[in-house]
Chains A and B, each alone.
Chain A
Amino acid sequence: MKLGLVVDLDTCVGCNACAVACKQWNTSGTTGPLTDLEPYGKDPTGVWFNRIRNYELGDYPDNKTVHFPMSCMHCEDAACVTVCPTGASYKREEDGIVLVDQDKCMGCNLCAWACPYGARELDPEEGVMKKCTLCVDRIYDEALPEDERQPACVMTCPAHARFFGDFDDPNSEVSRLSRERGGEHLMPELGYKPVNTYLPPRNKPNIPTYKNETNPIEKVKDWVNRLVAR
Chain B
Amino acid sequence: MAGSEVAAIRFVETTKHYGEVVGLERLTLDVGGGEIVGLLGPNGAGKTTAIRTLLGLLKPTAGRAEIFGIDAWQHPVDAHRKLAYIPGEFHVWPQLTGGQILDLLGTVSGGYDPAFRDELIERFNFDPSKRGRSYSKGNRQKIAVIAALMTRAPLLVMDEPSSGLDPLMTATFQDCLREAKAAGQTIFLSSHILSEVEAVCDRVAVLRQGLLVEHGTLAELRHLHVNTVEATYLGAPPDLDGVPGVEDVQVRDGRIRLHVTGSTDPLLKALARAEVVSIQMREPTLEELFHAYYDETSHAADTAA
Chains A and B belong together in one complex: no
Which positions in A face B, CB cutoff 8 Å?
none
Which B positions have Cβ atoms within 8 angstroms of A?
Answer: none
